[in-house]
């Protein structure tokens, strides 16, 4: 049994070594991610966006935010890092002039949590 386990274990290690090593920022803490989802629901982000894990509403005017953590760019222009995403979530027009997304009143904590939640969407 020990022998078999050792073989399986070493094979797993070999397989793991075959995975590409994605350079991903670490996830924010679970509390922040959960608060971010609740804040996105409370603020009604779904009026324009399809949101991962939220059944209704599924707005179509803005892009779906499913798998947002895999995206390289915010709104096709800005690097998708946490501080920039948080700033964009709260005040899109000041970062991307001409965006149809309005500035939405929220505090810095909410913006940070929503950004953390969006970046945790990596499916």
Partner 1 sequence: MILRPGSSLSVTSAGSGWPPAVFDPAGPYSEPVTTLAWALLLGGTAVFALVLAALGVALFGSAALKARLGGEKAIWIGGFAFPAVVLTGLLIWGLMLTSSLSATRVTGAEMRVKIIGEMWWWRVHYQDAEGRETLRDANELHIPVGKPVLLELETADVIHSFWVPRLGGKMDMIPGRTNRLLIQADKPGVYKGQCAEYCGGPHALMGFIVVAHTAEDFARWKASRVPARGEQGRGLELFLSSGCAACHTIRGTPATGLAGPDLTHVGSRQTLGAGILPNNPGTMAGWIADAQAIKPANRMPAYHQLSAEELLAVSEYLVRRK
In the bound state with partner 1, the residue whose beta carbon lies nearer, of 26 and 105, is: 105
* Max Cα–Cα distance, the chain, nearest Å: 64
Tokens of 30: 């679970």
- Using CB under 8 A, which of 77, 93, 107, 109 touches partner 1? 93
- Using CB under 8 A, which of 9, 44, 67, 109 touches partner 1? 44
Binding of partner 1 by 48 (CB under 8 A) = yes
Binding of partner 1 by 66 (CB under 8 A) = no
Contact residues for 34 (Cβ-Cβ < 8 A; gap 6+): 117
Q: One symbol per residue from 1 to 40: x for binding partner 1 (CB under 8 A), - otherwise; what is it?
A: -------------------------------------x--
Binding of partner 1 by 63 (CB under 8 A) = no
**Measured CA angle at 34 (ends 114, 59), to 5 deg:** 50
Long-range CB pairs of 102-105, under 8 A, 24+ apart, other chains included = 104/43
Beta bridge partners of 78: 74
Binding of partner 1 by 100 (CB under 8 A) = yes
Q: Could you give the CA distance from residue 77 to residue 60 in angstroms, rounded to a whole number?
A: 20
How many of the chain's residues bind partner 1 (CB under 8 A)? 27
Chain residues in the site for partner 1 (CB under 8 A): 38, 41-48, 54-62, 93, 98-105
């Amino acid at each position: 049994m020990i022998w078999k386990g050792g073989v399986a274990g070493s094979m797993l290690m070999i397989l793991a070594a075959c995975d590409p090593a994605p350079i991903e920022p670490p996830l924010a803490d679970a509390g922040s991610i959960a608060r971010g989802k609740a804040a996105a629901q409370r603020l009604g982000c779904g009026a324009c966006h399809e949101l991962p894990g939220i059944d209704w509403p599924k707005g179509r005017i803005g892009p779906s935010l499913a798998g947002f953590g895999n995206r390289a760019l915010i709104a096709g222009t800005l690097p998708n890092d946490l501080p920039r995403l948080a700033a964009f979530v709260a005040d899109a027009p000041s970062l991307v002039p001409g965006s149809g997304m309005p500035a939405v009143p929220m505090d810095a904590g909410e913006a940070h949590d929503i950004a953390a939640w969006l970046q945790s969407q990596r499916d």
